[in-house]
Copies of this chain bind each other. A is one copy, B any other.
Amino acid sequence: MKDHPTPTVTTGPLPASRKIHVAGERHDISVPMREIALTGGPPLTVYDSSGPYTDAAARIDISHGLPRWRGAWLRARGDVGETDPRPVAPADNGFAEGARLTPEFPTRHRPLRAAGGRAVTQLAYARAGIITPEMEFVAIRENEGRAAAHSRDGEPFGAAIPDLVTPEFVRQEIAAGRAIIPANVNHPELEPVIIGRNFKVKVNANIGNSAVTSSMEDEVEKMIWAIRWGADTVMDLSTGRNIHNIREWIIRNSPVPIGTVPMYQALEKVGGVAEDLTWEIFRDTLIEQAEQGVDYFTIHAGLRLHMIPMTAKRVTGIVSRGGSIIAKWCLHHHRESFLYEHFDEICDIARAYDVSFSLGDGLRPGSIADANDEAQFAELRTLGELTKIAWEKDCQVMIEGPGHVPMHKIKENVEEQLKHCHEAPFYTLGPLTTDIAPGYDHITSAIGAAMIGWFGTAMLCYVTPKEHLGLPDRDDVKTGVITYKLAAHAADLAKGHPGARARDDALSSARFEFRWQDQFNLGLDPDTAREMHDETLPAEAHKLAHFCSMCGPKFCSMKISHDIRAEAERQQGMESMAEKFRDGGDLYIPAPEAGE
């Protein structure tokens, strides 16, 4: 690192916000949340995935990484031990050398793994009746400081979200396979998060360099930037050189679960020639990444040889990168993939580090024309079979879903997934509801994401405006995250989540009372809201004005609404008027204008 100055990353609280911590009752844990101060009324506490970067008291140095505070929980369980790390090979970084080699992360930590073949997964603990610190952490976190349910109504489609989440409820959900806490024992920097249908809908942001562009500094900043705006997990989809070293920097600085598609790195190791992949190379890559602390692996083991011809008549063939790679391998070697054949062994690795599975949908549709076809649902049923195998090994599982799906075919996806995958959490990419808007696919997909989240998807993988067009930059990452946060929140509202409406109501009250600053600060993106308001009414005084440039003072309906209420109060109180007028029927007879 001598020649590399420590990169600076975005830090500091969001506007009017401070980090608060809620202590555990069972365990010595401290759950961070964000408190938004309001000019009118008590502060609002909201879920906070941003980690120490938004804590004014935190000292951030990404060359040190985040505090490894979860280490104490891991040691206390006494079921893991340090092992000699797998040596880093030149192939792990794509044979990058000299100035082209991303420097190693300065500190090497010895990896942990299960001692004596034990299952060290949250699923194993849950089944054994153990409430881990991770479980209590997420229980507190999901409640967002609430002591009771807020106003709730909704259509949950079979989801059963309690008014308040208890650690025991978390344990039961994990034991049933309906939720997961991706939490590799080698990721002690983690602030645990739960993914399941009976919890808040989560959002994943993809980052990662490609062979064509970007660097370690960019990717670490993208991760921090993505969680600042609310990403609950981050997938590092790097390809090209330096994959190993970039990933290490990301994980050591990430408070959120990191997911990967190990196939990408494996393919780099064989020079991009899919046919040259072997189980041994793949297996070695899994261990490499598990030792680094990757929290969940996308594994495309559900794509079987006999399904490939089902894609022959598709408009867009196979659009999953991992799926297309393994399909090519299968077809070339004319046999089932090593992912499918060695899935048992893959589970053994995952169980030793508690890497969760995200069973990949290699045959997801890449266009409206291909939605819900034979190939897609054939693979889904195999993912259900693999789920049972993973569960037998005490591994945590979620299931990936599409993709491109018109609105009328979205619900079937959730119903089929729940049925064939035994209620394992569903994790979908969008879906995009039309193909005709490149440049706006964050929106075509937010429509589908909100709906599929409502129907029961546990986590939504974001789509940025650059989808189909290029590698997203920092602005695209933010736009993608905010878009998906609002979609996830719309889903929570529609499901009747007991806490969701508190923020809507607080913001709408601020709007009605012309508390502009509160309106900005309660929004998902206070900076953009404030900038937009500033464009036409920049003066500070206008932040107290009882109108905006959209309608101007005379035409502000909210201002007039206040006048109406004042007038009604003056006349006799709206409540009693309501009683009086209720019998009014068609022909209202004006009351005598006494007293006017």
Which A residues have a C-beta under 8 Å from some C-beta of B? 151, 153-155, 210-213, 239-240, 264, 267-268, 272, 274, 304-312, 315-321, 323-325, 327-328, 331-336, 366-369, 404, 406-408, 433-440, 442-444, 446-447, 450-451, 454, 465-473, 482-483, 485-487, 489-491, 493-496, 501, 503-505, 507-509, 511-512, 519-520, 522-525, 528-529, 532-533, 535-537, 548-558, 560-565, 567-568, 571, 574-575, 577-578, 581-582, 584, 588, 590-591, 593, 596
Question: Which one of B267, B433, B467 contacts A555 once the chains associate, using CB atoms below 8 Å?
Answer: B267
Q: Are A486 and B434 in contact (CB under 8 A)?
A: yes
The 8 A-B residue pairs whose C-beta atoms are closest, nearest first, are A317-B561, A306-B581, A309-B578, A367-B508, A211-B552, A312-B574, A306-B584, A272-B554
Please judge, given known A-B contacts A315-B508, A548-B470, whether A557 and B321 are in contact too, CB under 8 Å: yes
Q: Are B454 and A504 in contact (CB under 8 A)?
A: no
Can you name 11 A-B pairs with beta carbons within 8 Å?
A: A211-B552, A317-B562, A317-B565, A319-B558, A321-B556, A435-B504, A442-B443, A444-B486, A447-B450, A468-B548, A470-B533
What is the distance, in angstroms, from A156's C-beta to the closest C-beta of chain B? 9
Query: Which residue of chain B has the shortest Cβ distance to A211 in the bound complex?
Result: B552
Query: Which residue of chain B has the shortest Cβ distance to A487 in the bound complex?
Result: B447
Q: Are A367 and B468 in contact (CB under 8 A)?
A: no
Please judge, given known A-B contacts A317-B561, A408-B494, A508-B367, whether A210 and B555 are in contact too, CB under 8 Å: yes
The answer for the CA separation of A197 and B274 in the assembled complex, in Å, is 50
What is the distance, in angstroms, from A236's C-beta to the closest C-beta of chain B? 14
Please judge, given known A-B contacts A317-B565, A321-B555, A406-B154, whether A524 and B483 are in contact too, CB under 8 Å: no
Seed contacts A155-B408, A408-B496, A469-B548; 11 additional CB < 8 Å A-B pairs? A210-B549, A211-B554, A239-B552, A308-B568, A309-B568, A368-B505, A407-B494, A435-B508, A436-B522, A439-B525, A440-B483
Contacts of A324 in B (CB 8 A): 557-558, 560-561, 564
Q: Are B593 and A334 in contact (CB under 8 A)?
A: yes
Please judge, given known A-B contacts A436-B522, A581-B306, whether A564 and B321 are in contact too, CB under 8 Å: no
Q: Are B508 and A366 in contact (CB under 8 A)?
A: yes
Contacts of A272 in B (CB 8 A): 554
Contacts of A408 in B (CB 8 A): 153-155, 454, 493-496
What is the distance, in angstroms, from A74's C-beta to the closest C-beta of chain B? 34
Please judge, given known A-B contacts A561-B324, A564-B331, whether A434 and B504 are in contact too, CB under 8 Å: yes
Q: Are B561 and A311 in contact (CB under 8 A)?
A: yes
Question: Which one of B309, B331, B404, B485 contacts A575 once the chains associate, using CB atoms below 8 Å?
Answer: B309
Question: Which one of B325, B465, B493 contacts A368 once the chains associate, using CB atoms below 8 Å?
Answer: B493
Q: Are A482 and B437 in contact (CB under 8 A)?
A: yes
What is the distance, in angstroms, from A450's C-beta to the closest C-beta of chain B? 5
What is the distance, in angstroms, from A317's C-beta to the closest C-beta of chain B? 3
When all copies of this chain in the complex are counted, the total is: 2
The answer for the CA separation of A404 and B507 in the assembled complex, in Å, is 13
Contacts of A508 in B (CB 8 A): 315-316, 366-369, 404, 435
Contacts of A331 in B (CB 8 A): 564, 567-568, 571
Q: Are B450 and A564 in contact (CB under 8 A)?
A: no
Please judge, given known A-B contacts A368-B493, A407-B494, A486-B434, whether A553 and B439 are in contact too, CB under 8 Å: no
Please judge, given known A-B contacts A407-B494, A447-B490, whether A532 and B436 are in contact too, CB under 8 Å: no
Q: Are A406 and B490 in contact (CB under 8 A)?
A: yes
Q: Are A436 and B557 in contact (CB under 8 A)?
A: no
Contacts of A536 in B (CB 8 A): 212-213, 470-471
What is the distance, in angstroms, from A550's C-beta to the closest C-beta of chain B? 5
The answer for the CA separation of A88 and B447 in the assembled complex, in Å, is 47
Q: Are A406 and B437 in contact (CB under 8 A)?
A: no
What is the distance, in angstroms, from A415's C-beta to the closest C-beta of chain B? 14
Q: Are A524 and B454 in contact (CB under 8 A)?
A: no
Q: Are A482 and B332 in contact (CB under 8 A)?
A: no
Q: Are B444 and A443 in contact (CB under 8 A)?
A: no
The answer for the CA separation of A525 and B294 in the assembled complex, in Å, is 39
Question: Which one of B369, B451, B469, B581 contacts A451 once the chains associate, using CB atoms below 8 Å?
Answer: B451
What is the distance, in angstroms, from A302's C-beta to the closest C-beta of chain B? 13
Query: Which residue of chain B has the shortest Cβ distance to A239 in the bound complex?
Result: B555
What is the distance, in angstroms, from A301's C-beta to the closest C-beta of chain B? 13
What is the distance, in angstroms, from A272's C-beta to the closest C-beta of chain B? 4
